């Protein structure tokens, strides 16, 4: 296989003009391929071997070659690592990173970030080349518009099992110029303890911790009545007298499907078989009414056998119940 054909195979059917010339084609050869529509321009000096819509992988290669030397960055790097999933749509802007000393004009459909640590953060052996996963995650979390968005980035990365809170914590410590360094470190400490979503982190920091509720065990492994493995979001328990309570945190505004709703009900029924009644909370209880939720959970725990009592946080009313 000649060098041009090998380039096209390695780069998902995308090639740069400079690569074609370096592989032995002449300017006349390239012009003839374009004229015959065997190659079609994506960006100036970057071609693809068809004239139809470009799938995301080809758009990613084209963006990197148009800004070369460049690597996928931000959500585009995550998309390359994780596959389509919940990441950007195929028609979203492709994000790339280049060395800080370069000034690159981004072509249409591409955004460019300049990085002082470019040489150390790019994995050139991947296809397409991209910034390292932990670098990307910490960068996105640090640049997120809202703190809840930052939490979501960290929780999603750890929940997807592509990295760990400890690795990300180490990345925070070794990365210069982070404006949210202390906040990201604190969130990752909580993620390491088992908070796997924005809602779970909010429950820990807005409901449980500031109101003196007992410390729950998070992501507790269990099994359904049919023997399938599952995880309880938070399990509270005590020994004297023995008591327990399961709290499930549902971060969806709506159920994804009837099957998802059925799975939740089945999980609650399995909890009841284990003599653990389930309380299911959403964003309204956790973020909208955290003090009221803490008060009600405290009273519920007391009914189960908890000997303690919830305390007031700075936002709680000065008198009466914590509502």
Tens of pLDDT, residues 126-172: 999 999 999 999 999 999 998 888 988 998 898 888 899 999 999 99
108 and 188 co-located in one domain: no
Q: From the centroid of its chain, how far is CA 84?
A: 13
The helix (run of H) or strand (run of E) holding residue 40 is strand 40-43
What is the C-alpha separation between 261 and 258, in angstroms, rounded? 5
Single out the residue in 131, 146, 162 at which a domain terminates.
Answer: 131
pLDDT in tens, 163-203: 999 999 999 999 988 999 999 999 999 888 888 788 899 99
64 and 99 co-located in one domain: yes
199 assigned to some structural domain: no
138 and 115 co-located in one domain: no
User: Alpha helices, DSSP H only, in 163-274?
Assistant: 165-174, 181-192, 198-202, 258-273
What is the C-alpha separation between 267 and 135, in angstroms, rounded? 37
Q: Which of 99-103, 111-115, 187-191, 203-207 has the lowest mean pLDDT?
A: 187-191
Contact status, residue 190 vs residue 205, Cβ threshold 8 Å? yes
Structure tokens at 285: 């209880």
Residue 220: per-residue pLDDT: 87
102 and 158 co-located in one domain: no
**Model confidence, pTM:** 0.73
pLDDT in tens, 15-74: 999 999 999 999 999 999 999 999 999 999 999 999 999 999 999 999 999 999 999 999
Q: What is the mean pLDDT of the chain?
A: 87
184 assigned to some structural domain: yes
138 assigned to some structural domain: yes
pLDDT band at residue 91 under the 50/70/90 scheme: low
124 and 141 co-located in one domain: no
Give which of 57, 63, 108 is closest to 81, Cα–Cα.
57
Residue 319: per-residue pLDDT: 61
Residue 156: per-residue pLDDT: 87
Decide the pairing of beta strands 130-131 and 217-223.
Answer: unpaired
Q: The domain containing residue 180 runs over which residues?
A: 134-192
34 and 109 co-located in one domain: yes
94 and 11 co-located in one domain: yes
pLDDT band at residue 283 under the 50/70/90 scheme: confident
Please state the rounded mean pLDDT for residues 305-311.
94
234 and 126 co-located in one domain: no
204 assigned to some structural domain: no
10 and 97 co-located in one domain: yes
Q: Is the pLDDT at 82 greater than 50, yes or no?
A: yes
Q: Is the pLDDT at 312 greater than 90, yes or no?
A: yes
241 assigned to some structural domain: yes
138 and 228 co-located in one domain: no
Q: Is the pLDDT at 251 greater than 50, yes or no?
A: yes
Peptide bond into 69 cis (omega under 30): yes
180 and 258 co-located in one domain: no
7 and 75 co-located in one domain: yes
How many domains does one find in the chain?
3
319 assigned to some structural domain: no
97 assigned to some structural domain: yes
């Amino acid at each position: 296989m000649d060098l041009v054909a090998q380039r096209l195979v390695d780069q998902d059917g995308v090639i740069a003009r400079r690569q074609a010339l370096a592989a032995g084609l002449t300017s006349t050869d390239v012009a003839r391929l374009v004229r015959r529509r065997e190659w079609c321009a994506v960006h100036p000096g970057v071609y693809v071997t068809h004239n139809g819509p470009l799938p995301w992988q080809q758009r990613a290669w084209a963006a990197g070659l148009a800004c070369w030397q460049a690597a996928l960055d931000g959500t585009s790097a995550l998309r390359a690592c994780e596959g389509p999933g919940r990441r950007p749509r195929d028609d979203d802007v492709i994000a790339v990173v280049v060395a800080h000393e370069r000034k690159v004009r981004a072509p249409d459909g591409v955004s460019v970030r300049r990085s002082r640590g470019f040489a150390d953060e790019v994995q050139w052996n991947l296809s397409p080349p991209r910034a390292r996963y932990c670098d990307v995650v910490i960068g996105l979390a640090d640049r997120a518009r809202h703190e809840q968005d930052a939490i979501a980035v960290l929780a999603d990365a750890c929940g997807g099992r592509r990295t760990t809170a400890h690795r990300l914590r180490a990345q925070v410590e070794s990365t210069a110029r982070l404006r949210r360094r202390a906040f990201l470190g604190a969130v990752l400490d909580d993620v390491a303890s088992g908070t796997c979503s924005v809602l779970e982190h909010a429950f820990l920091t807005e409901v449980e911790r500031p109101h003196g509720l007992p410390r729950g065990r998070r992501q507790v492994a269990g099994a359904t009545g049919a023997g399938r493995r599952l995880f309880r979001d938070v399990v509270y328990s005590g020994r004297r007298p023995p008591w327990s309570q399961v709290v499930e945190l549902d971060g969806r505004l709506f159920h994804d499907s009837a099957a998802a709703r059925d799975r939740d009900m089945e999980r609650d029924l399995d909890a009841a078989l284990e003599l653990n009644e389930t309380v299911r909370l959403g964003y309204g209880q956790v973020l909208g009414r955290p003090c009221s939720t803490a008060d009600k959970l405290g009273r519920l725990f007391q009914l189960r056998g908890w000997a303690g009592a919830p305390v007031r946080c700075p936002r709680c009313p000065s008198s009466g119940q914590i509502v």
